[in-house]
Amino acid sequence: MSHDIVGVGEAMLRIWVPAGERLEDAATYRVSVAGAEANVAMAAARMGARTAWLSALPDSPLGRRAAREIASHGVDVSRVRWTGEARMGTYYVELSVPPRPITVVYDRAGSAASLMGPADIDWDVVESARLVHISGITPALSPSCRDLSFEVVRRAAAAGALVALDVNFRRMLWSAGECRDVVAELGRGAGLVIATAEDARDVFGIDGPPEHVVDGLRDLTGAPRVVVTLGSAGAHWRGPEGRGAAAGYEDAGAVDRIGAGDAFAAGVLLGLLEDDLEGGVRRGLAMAALKLGIHGDQLTVTPAEVERLIAGHEREVSR
């Protein structure tokens, strides 16, 4: 079976405490599953797309927990590689409200996913997909994952699949210079590049009006479509069909900001599959706004909820 969207990347267990609690003092912790490409696959599956996620997991209770949770959203995890020789990556989150930032502590070195290389992927899944999604996190995990990322883009593009690349810079994994060089090269095989305005500035040194940032990223990567997000201010895009901007949604206070960018990316990819980049951006903004009100990395809403928000029919209290 071919899939609409195939994501390639790492999943981790997220161990976290609600806003107002400290990791060092908490008596109990909540556990959920996270990972950029997996988050995108889950959100898109909930919107009706046929999605698959390719990765490696330890053959352990923790690995099985991750696979089961991802699959519960409708994602095909049947091609995940299982290993008994590596661990499950984790990360710890201390939610907060401004001006105090959210704190994230990673414990992912030596994870099963970080040990992946080109030999660990079932390439028929990649080459038969309509769209393949990868983020800048995957090549940052290890040299073998970097080789894997280039092979994913090369094979997907050669097979005629759309390739979507989300910059997703993580300074705890690599330097801005390393990210710039790798993402710029990966972007040459991509049909779409997504970046935050912050990443465009910090990684590529491109700043200024959003239109200038979009054009700078397009020139740097050669990708025919570029989308730049501006937080609650919305997003700008440029593609073969033209360019434009869409307003965001009022951010009156987020329950959990982590994963909103992945929800946005999922909406954009769905639009790309329909040859409607503008519609995808608008859907992505609505999906990201809804994610801000949900704990965990995953967007757990229905298509009807997204459509109501886009139409402006959502009420402050639904009853």
Q: Which amino acid is at 161?
A: A
Stated as kind and residue range, the H or E segment containing 81 is: strand 81-83
What DSSP line would sit under 8-35, residue for residue? Answer: E---EEEEEE-TT--TTT-S--EEEEE-
First to last CA, the chain: 41
Distance CA 214, CA 300 (A): 30
Please identify which residue in the block is written with the tokens 């329909």. 274
Catalytic pick among 147, 262, 275, 297 = 262
Q: Are 282 and 246 in contact (CB under 8 A)?
A: yes
**Whether residue 275 lies in the annotated active site:** no
Distance CA 6, CA 1 (A): 12
CB 304: neighbour CB atoms within 10 A?
A: 8
Dihedrals φ, ψ of 291, to 5°? -60, -35
Point out the residues that are catalytic. 262
